[in-house]
Amino acid sequence: MKERLKRNGMWYAKAVMMGLLPLLCCVLTCAIYGYQLGDIYLPASDWNDELFYYKQVESMLQFGYPQGYFGFNESHALKLSFAAWSPVLVFPWLLFGAIFGWNMMSPIYCNILLMSLACAVFVLLVKPKWKQLFLLTILFCVFRPFSLYMLRGMPECICFSMLIIYYAVMEWYEREKKFRGVVWLLLLAGIMTLMRPYLLLFLIYPVVLWIKKDKKQGIIGSILLMAVVGASYWAINHYLAAEYFTPLFKTDWLEPFLHGDIWGGIHGILSRMFHDGKRFLALTVEGLKSGFTEGAFFAGYLALMLLFVWQGVSEWTQKNKEKAWKYLYFAFCFFAMTIALILMYKMKEGSKHLLTFMAMGIFVLSAMPTKFYKKPMFFAALCVYLYSMKATNPIDYQICFATSERVAKVDCWAGIFEKELHLDIEEVPNYDNVVIWVFSDTVGEGASRKVVITDWQVLYGLPAGFGVSCCYDTYVLENFEQLKSKYITIPTGGDIQSICEEKGLRMLGQDESVCVYELR
């Protein structure tokens, strides 16, 4: 141990220093707003996905799986009770919660820990020079999505950290040429694919390395691995995911191929690429002009892709073909994801998925051989412009801090829920353990009628085990007599409350903005 510390002591010190960087960024971000890290409060957030992730993990830790269904318009998974996203996505939170317990700060602390581990592993495996660590520190600090997502109850940092570690293993393998590096790359890429299907792109590199080492074994093994990963993803998506309001992926362009119309299918793809591609570029330009969030993410993403192409061509001209292929491979992954976004994703939701690629890209950029810092400093300046100077959208760049009013309200509703809601543990999961969250309702009379968003944040106070089904008001109004869930959360004074009162349903609680009824 003494010999190892003597030999690698400097690298351990560098790893610890870089491992503290994510925590430092989060503490400074909170301090800028006049708060401390412990003041982060998930129910103060307007991002409703966080509620689903938090309550599902809470239920999984306490019961193994939610005892009520998570879904949309009362949809539910074929097996168990998860929402529309793969439960594999949150497995680090489950490990963290099992060890340290689960509360509203747990996902934030886990996100910071994961990013710290990613930074430390990067240093130990890549062994960057001081200049490269300096560049990484600057890039990490100015890429605002790092601190933004560490301080949110979203699993993006889980994907960030895994892909950064994947890149670090790539660099280690390039230097050491030990086959266990390929095994780790295959394992990481396989798990990442189960979390987000587009990360399948990163299986290509280790598969090629495996085939190059042993052609027969590599081809057979890669086919089996792809089959296992593909079948696992299909099974998870088919059996454990509830149907969303609309399909998560746009697949209408596949229909002509399924009906044997090959040329029609090709025409459809080209037409989609042309029209949605124009929209993608228009949003990118808008992002550069005004900081429009989706366009700003597109602009940073395309800049990184072009920098990889630039570096790849530069390495190729210098006869460094192995390095050239590495950077061109990253550029290919970025380009392929762009095509996937245009063909299959909505622009707003798709833009957030690009951040995972950009997170890894920043570490790649910092480790590039450089003399004059031009590529990393150009991207750093672009980040300052896009994600600080132009980052004015209060929703997309919101940091959620506790206020006395919000804390008191959630605590009050937690007491009501604890008293009035009773978890049914027979034949679970079941709809007796489901609370409908009506997304919005129409409130008021005559000219004063308006659509009001439900104060859904009070549902953080639900007892562990309860499921939440987000429903549109139209679904509830059309199916009121056939609703399967036992409880409903709605805006106070809305049309749906009037129906509840007319039918004599029991009110469990009410305040100035939200009320909860027992449906049966």
Question: What would you measure as the largest C-alpha separation in the chain, in angstroms?
Answer: 81
Residue 64 falls inside a structural domain: no
Nearest-angstrom CA–CA distance, 318 and 97: 49
User: Quick one: 62 exposed, middle or buried, by C-beta within 10 A (0-12, 13-18, 19+)?
Assistant: middle
Residue 183 falls inside a structural domain: yes
Nearest-angstrom CA–CA distance, 318 and 340: 32
Mark whether 375 and 478 lie in a shared domain. Answer: no
- Which residues touch 91 (CB under 8 Å, ≥6 apart)? none
Mark whether 271 and 333 lie in a shared domain. Answer: yes
Residue from 498, 511, 506 nearest 441 by CA: 498
Mark whether 356 and 426 lie in a shared domain. Answer: no
Residue 270 falls inside a structural domain: yes
| Total structural domains within the chain | 2
Instruction: Extract the tokens encoding 510.
Output: 């009410």
Mark whether 302 and 366 lie in a shared domain. Answer: yes
Domain range for 245: 2-39+84-389
Residue 50 falls inside a structural domain: no
Residue range 436-458: mean pLDDT, rounded: 91
Residue 65 falls inside a structural domain: no
Mark whether 432 and 472 lie in a shared domain. Answer: yes
pTM value?
0.94
In the listed set 355, 389, 423, which residue is the last one of a domain according to the structure?
A: 389
Q: Cα dihedral sign for 137, 138, 142, 145?
A: negative
Nearest-angstrom CA–CA distance, 24 and 166: 24
Mark whether 362 and 421 lie in a shared domain. Answer: no
Instruction: Extract the tokens encoding 286.
Output: 């808008």
Per residue in 293-349, pLDDT (tens digit) is 999 999 999 999 999 999 999 999 998 988 999 999 999 999 999 999 998 888 888
Per residue in 36-54, pLDDT (tens digit) is 999 999 999 999 899 999 9
Mark whether 478 and 426 lie in a shared domain. Answer: yes
Q: Cα dihedral sign for 85, 45, 409, 34?
A: positive
Per residue in 179-216, pLDDT (tens digit) is 999 999 999 999 999 999 999 999 999 999 999 998 99
Mark whether 321 and 231 lie in a shared domain. Answer: yes
Per residue in 109-156, pLDDT (tens digit) is 999 999 999 999 999 999 999 999 999 999 999 999 999 999 999 999
Mean pLDDT for all residues in the chain: 92
Residue 299 falls inside a structural domain: yes
Nearest-angstrom CA–CA distance, 512 and 495: 15
In the listed set 339, 365, 389, which residue is the last one of a domain according to the structure?
A: 389
Per residue in 480-508, pLDDT (tens digit) is 999 999 999 999 999 999 999 999 999 99
Mark whether 450 and 362 lie in a shared domain. Answer: no
Residue 481 falls inside a structural domain: yes
- Count CA atoms within 13 Å of residue 288 on its CB side: 13
Mark whether 379 and 249 lie in a shared domain. Answer: yes
Query: Residue 368's CB: how many other CB atoms inside 10 A?
Result: 19
In the listed set 389, 417, 444, which residue is the last one of a domain according to the structure?
A: 389
